[in-house]
């Protein structure tokens, strides 16, 4: 047996996943009529206590849709300089959302509440308006480091005080969850949007889900269409995740 440690994305579906995919009930998800996709979206949203979910082809797409939701022209995103959204998403913050980025430093890819506070732009004609803070958990380029809920709470408080949205790139959130065992619903309550990947530590062939409010996910569905991410009988993929 070859053990390939280049990435956790190299996994192949298990027998039970393949059986679930084979047996999946499907419909056209662009019409919102794929029962298996709907079930996956509802299942994950329920686990995190969030209102709705949106199944997408990749974690890059769920992150980029979230950034589009929470920014507009002449606005700015705060994130760590090693963030996936900045380093590895093809410059999508700029090309998809036309937003500016403020990059912060910090050990193990994590950013502190004080540094976030100090990085919020003043209401000044020279500065883009800060609208979004994006965190990553686990933090890939931070060596798989973990934020605990206690570390998120002061960041959430700053975002609320300053009218900022808070997004979580949780591509490998379940790795952090296995380690901390913290309540998923408590985590869901911290963020406006959460992206979780199914094709990494969870071993599914394809897919990520964006979680958020009904209003945000309704808008996200429209952005997904424009990004070319509307899939038809996607229930075959969602079945593997369920
Ligand atoms: C932290 C993090 N976020 C997002 C992504 C993007 O996921 P995808 O490859 O599905 O676009 C990755 C991919 O490895 C990642 O490591």
| Residues 64, 30: Cα–Cα separation, whole Å | 19
pLDDT per residue as tens digits for the range 25-45: 999 999 999 999 999 999 999
* Alpha-carbon distance values, 157 to 12, 151, 166, 191, 221 (Å): 41, 11, 10, 11, 28
**Residue ranges around ligand 1 (CB below 6 Å):** 58-60, 63, 84, 136, 140, 169, 171, 197, 199, 208
Output the average pLDDT for the chain. Answer: 97
Give average pLDDT by consecutive 10-residue segment, the chain, 242 residues.
89 95 98 98 98 98 98 98 98 98 98 98 97 98 97 98 98 97 98 98 96 98 98 98 96
Q: To which residue do tokens 């369920």 refer? A: 242
Atom of ligand 1 nearest to the CA of 139: 1
**C-alpha 180 – ligand 1 centre gap (Å):** 21
The sheet carrying 193-197 orders its strands as 52-56, 208-212, 193-197, 165-170, 129-136, 75-80, 100-104
Domains (ranges, CATH) in the chain?
48-241 (3.40.640.10)
Cis preceding linkage at 209, omega within 30 = no
Ligand 1 centroid, distance to 61 Cα (angstroms)? 9
Q: Mind listing the pLDDT tens digit for each residue in 158-174? A: 999 999 999 999 999 99
Cβ pair 214, 181 in contact under 8 A = no
For a pocket test of ligand 1, which of 88, 174, 203 has the largest count of ligand atoms closer than 8 A to its C-beta?
88
- Distance, in Å, from the CA atom of 226 to the CA atom of 229, rounded to the nearest integer, reads 7
Ligand 1 pocket, mutate which of 10, 59, 93, 137 (most atoms under 8 A from CB)? 59
């Amino acid at each position: 047996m070859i053990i390939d440690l280049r990435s956790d994305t190299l996994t192949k579906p298990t027998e039970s996943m393949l059986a679930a995919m084979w047996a999946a009930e499907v419909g056209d998800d662009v019409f919102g009529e794929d029962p298996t996709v709907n079930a996956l979206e509802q299942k994950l949203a329920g686990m995190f206590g969030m209102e709705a979910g949106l199944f997408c082809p990749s974690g890059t797409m769920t992150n980029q849709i979230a950034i589009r939701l929470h920014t507009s022209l002449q606005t700015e995103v705060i994130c760590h300089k090693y963030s996936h959204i900045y380093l590895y998403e093809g410059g999508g913050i700029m090309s998809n959302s036309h937003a500016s980025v403020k990059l912060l430093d910090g050990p193990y890819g994590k950013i502190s509440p004080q540094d976030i506070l100090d990085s919020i732009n003043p209401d000044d004609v020279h500065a883009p308006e800060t609208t979004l803070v994006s965190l990553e958990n686990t933090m890939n380029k931070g060596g798989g480091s973990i934020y605990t809920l206690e570390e998120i709470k002061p960041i959430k408080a700053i975002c609320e005080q300053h009218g900022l949205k808070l997004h979580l790139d949780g591509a490998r959130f379940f790795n952090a969850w296995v380690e901390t065992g913290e309540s998923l619903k408590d985590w869901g309550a911290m963020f406006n949007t959460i992206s979780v990947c199914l094709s990494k530590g969870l071993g599914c062939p394809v897919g990520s889900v964006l979680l958020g409010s009904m209003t945000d996910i309704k808008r996200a569905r429209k952005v997904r269409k424009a990004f070319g991410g509307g899939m038809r009988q996607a229930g075959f993929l969602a079945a593997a995740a369920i």
